Amino acid sequence: MTATPAKHPAQAQTQTQPKNWKPWLVFLGCCILSFIGFAFIVNTMGLYFAPLGEELGATRAQVASAASVLTLASIPTILVAGSIMKRIDSRILISVCIAACSALFFAQSLFTELWQFYVSFALMGVAFVIPIALAPSVLLANWFEKKLGLAMGIALGISGLGGMVFNPVVSSWITTFGWRMSYRITALIILACILPFSLFVFKYRPLAEKGEYAYGHEVGASETVKKDTVEPTEPEGLTLRQAARTKSFALLILVSVLLQSVAALVQHVSGMELAQGLTLEQGSLVVSGIMFGAAVGKATIGILLDKMKTQVVIALYAAVGLAGWALMALTTVPALAACAGFLAGVGQGVVLISLPWMIRLFFGVKDYAMILSVVSVAGSVASAVANTLHGMVFDAFGSYLPSLGANVAFYVLAAACAIAAYMLRPAASKEA
């Protein structure tokens, strides 16, 4: 009887890993994280400014400064968050951060002095960065090799819907129960909805030696052996140091800076519409239009990035975004202004989805969290500076028109940089 010759490893057939539910459970958890966590920690913060000011005898500016404290505290945290996520079990890390945010909200319900809020928001700025600002993009990049754009678009885009849903809900809580009870309800909801996922689902990346694979991962025949015999594999991609030497990295930094500077003007939209003759309610509709547009833009750009040429998708959404800001400068009709806000929101998909998507494509998963952290902190600094600069522009000219014109120009330049970054991406990613 003739023995069948063994196949050389190079001849091993590649087969698609059978469908598994773990990546989609991570996806569901990231959706909850964005919908609940981002909405309560970020989107509804401003609702408390008026009642806090009245009770504490503080000006609106003094209370609103708490948001600036949160932003400033988050910037250095973003720089080290990527490294921390690689070193500490993400389930423990995210759970501790969520528990801290919940505890801080509950503690705020007991505060009687303004300085206490400054301290708590500084701590919140440190605690929320990993679970809210970083974890969804990092976890999805690790658990999805295919349909990453779809997963990121929906999971990150749903944060805008959370803002739309919970802004009126939290407002009603404050009106009905008072701001102290509203903080306590918020603390309990964050803990109850997110902690189950953070404790049991949010593993940093799938482990082949435990039979776990990212969605769409193709497994060679040599990998189909028993789970306990599979050797741990080194994640593919570039290190932060290697990525930083590429032209694409510098261009993505520039894209982040430009488009976060654009997004900083969103904080001024209500005041801008008032200056143009609209009422406060009409101005709030424009802001709602931006939130809704951002949700739509983030979801749809993710789908298109998986199916169309990257250059075309980026150019299309940048054109929609700049059209929104340009129309906002030209119209004083409430309905048109709301439509302009929607278009401007759709354009935010370029920085919020295509940027992390391109980082994953260009540099792989090896140092994805650290690379994303560096790019994000550049954008955060730019946003903080631009927020002040937009106010200075209005003080100097009595109008936001120069800022609106700058936003249009920034979109053109950012789109050109993003497309150039794609064309100059590392050779290994071109073969993917």
Measured between alpha carbons, how far is 81 from 252 in angstroms, rounded to an integer?
A: 19
The confidence score (pLDDT) of residue 235 equals 67
Measured between alpha carbons, how far is 337 from 357 in angstroms, rounded to an integer?
A: 30
Q: How many CB atoms lie within 10 A of CB 267?
A: 18
The confidence score (pLDDT) of residue 8 equals 41
Residue 31 to residues 37, 39, 45, 154, 361, Cα–Cα distance (Å): 10, 12, 20, 7, 22
The one-letter amino acid at 206: P
User: Mean pLDDT in each 10-residue stretch from start to end of the chain (432 residues)?
Assistant: 41 50 92 91 80 84 76 85 88 96 96 92 92 91 89 87 83 91 96 94 86 76 47 72 94 95 83 79 80 87 90 95 93 90 92 90 89 89 83 84 93 95 82 54
Measured between alpha carbons, how far is 235 from 205 in angstroms, rounded to an integer?
A: 9
Q: Name the phi and psi angles at 144, rounded to 5.
A: -130, 120
Residue (of 64, 267, 30, 47) closest to 169 by Cα position:
47
The confidence score (pLDDT) of residue 352 equals 85
Please, what is the angle between helix 179-200 and helix 148-177, to 10°? Answer: 150
The confidence score (pLDDT) of residue 233 equals 57
Handedness of CA 57, 60, 65, 67 (dihedral sign): positive
Look-up of token digits 């206490």: 116
What pTM, to 2 d.p., does this model score? 0.78
Indicate the CATH number of 240-430 among 1.20.1250.20, 3.40.30.10, 1.10.10.10, 1.10.287.70.
1.20.1250.20
Q: Three-class SS of residue 390? A: helix
Measured between alpha carbons, how far is 221 from 16 in angstroms, rounded to an integer?
A: 10
CA 91 to chain centre: 19
The one-letter amino acid at 344: A
Handedness of CA 167, 156, 249, 314 (dihedral sign): negative
The confidence score (pLDDT) of residue 173 equals 92
Instruction: Look up residue 131 and give its DSSP letter.
Output: I
Find out whether 17 and 144 touch, Cβ atoms under 8 Å.
Answer: no
Measured between alpha carbons, how far is 282 from 274 in angstroms, rounded to an integer?
A: 9
Tell me the sheet residues that pair with 14.
Answer: 220
CATH 1.20.1250.20-classified regions of the chain: 16-210, 240-430
Tell me the sheet residues that pair with 144.
Answer: 215
Measured between alpha carbons, how far is 185 from 166 in angstroms, rounded to an integer?
A: 12
Measured between alpha carbons, how far is 20 from 322 in angstroms, rounded to an integer?
A: 41
- Two structure tokens written together for 339: 């439509």
The confidence score (pLDDT) of residue 19 equals 59
Look-up of token digits 């009687």: 112
Report the CATH superfamily, name and number, of domain 16-210.
Answer: MFS general substrate transporter like domains (1.20.1250.20)
Measured between alpha carbons, how far is 85 from 204 in angstroms, rounded to an integer?
A: 8
Measured between alpha carbons, how far is 54 from 242 in angstroms, rounded to an integer?
A: 53
- The end-to-end CA distance of the chain, in Å, is 44
Per DSSP (E only), the strands in 313-427 are: none
